Structure 1
Amino acid sequence: MSILFGVVFFILGSLIVYVFQKKIFKGITEEDVVCEVVQKAFIRVKNSEHNEHKLVRELLKSDAFIKDLSLTAKFQGSIVGYILFTKIKVGEETLLALAPLAVLPKYQKKGIGKSLIEKGHKVAKNLGYKGVVLLGDPGYYKKFGYSSASKWGIKSPVKIADENFMAIELYPDSLIDIKGVVQYPKEFGI
């Protein structure tokens, strides 16, 4: 009898916990989780205004958003990393901006960022995009083939150190004829 009571108690308890969790998390969307990951990833970054999560929320609603290039990394069912590529213009050409790349601090330096970048490049290439532009740490992004965007005549719309404004060709020589100032979507506030 006590075993039966224990099994019934366990099943009822599990059911109550399940219902309770569903009620609490019902209003939380994947967008909310992604924005929380981005916010936590940038919280300790010194040269950040700590508004990257707000930018993501705005970009997800913008005309520059590409659903296939909004990628998450999961560990045990939870989102631990995120990368977003959005449309930008350089002259008449549509390229991509990588912003942001975010991995929860606990999961950094485990290859998650690398996996997100490589997957993003592959998807972007399959979608026919020629290149990606970003503002970031050259010590990190050079590992993936990024170099100064000025190499191709691609310029930042704001004053930034040349080595921090980078680009990558997704096909050999795909950026060779693309020159000009990057026109970011209005959500970037540039």
Structure 2
Amino acid sequence: MTIRPATASDYGPIARLIEAAFARPDEARLVEALRLGKAMAREWVLANDKEEIRAYLALVHMVEPRGWYALAPVAVAPGSQGLGLGGRLIHAALDVVEGPVVVLGDPDYYTRFGFSVGRAANLVSPYPLDVTALYEPAPTGSPPLARLVYATPFGA
């Protein structure tokens, strides 16, 4: 399996993978809208030896705070779930990210990658804080005080 940046020729297979992983088209539409809105910071895929995309991850620029990112979405093909592919992509993304990353999701899952619900406790978010976690490449001092403004396609 190889982790690499997504290319325009991957967009169709990525959309199909996301739809299959989430069993609905909403997240695939979100990814398309984020691309069209120039909100994407980075997109990665994990592909097998046949170049079939088995997993996908996006980092999206936050509107506020500047220099922060949202991790959304992470998707793994249904037949490849439970094999650690999403985790491999998350580790790869966090190894190169230059700023804090916010994620919405199961805290038990994301804390294993260094995300912290506690460090997100002082954030003002349009989403529930009990499922909001923060990754900081080099956390220092008190948890940050910040208002989260997501890219327009998130609808928040």
Shorter-normalised TM-score: what interval?
0.7 to 0.9
Distance 1:40 1:114, change over 3 A: same
Tell me the SS of whatever aligns to 1:101.
Answer: strand
Aligned to 1:121: 94
- Pick aligned residue for 2:74 from 91, 96, 101: 101
Aligned residues of 2:120 and 2:144 also touching (Cα < 8 A): no
Tell me the SS of whatever aligns to 1:133.
Answer: strand
Higher RCO (C-alpha 8 Å, min separation 6): 2
Matches within 5 A, 1:14-163: 29-43=9-23, 50-66=25-41, 69-76=42-49, 77-91=51-65, 93-124=66-97, 128-129=98-99, 131-148=100-117, 151=120, 153-158=122-127, 160=128, 162-163=129-130
Instruction: Quote the Cα distance in structure 2 between the aligned partners of 1:141 and 1:177.
Output: 17
Q: Does residue 184 of the first structure (1) align with residue 113 of the second (2)?
A: no
Aligned residues of 1:41 and 1:104 also touching (Cα < 8 A): yes
Instruction: Quote the Cα distance in structure 2 between the aligned partners of 1:139 and 1:96.
Output: 20
**What is the one-letter code of the residue matched to 2:87?**
K
Tell me the SS of whatever aligns to 2:62.
Answer: strand
CA RMSD of aligned residues (A): 2.1
Distance 1:180 1:189, change over 3 A: same
> Displacement, 1:98?
0.2
> Displacement, 1:62?
2.1
Larger helix percent: 1
Tell me the SS of whatever aligns to 1:102.
Answer: strand
Structure 2: gaps of 5 or more residues:
1-7
TM-score when normalising by structure 2: 0.85
Aligned residues of 2:115 and 2:135 also touching (Cα < 8 A): yes
TM-score when normalising by structure 1: 0.71
The count of residues paired between Structure 1 and Structure 2 equals 148
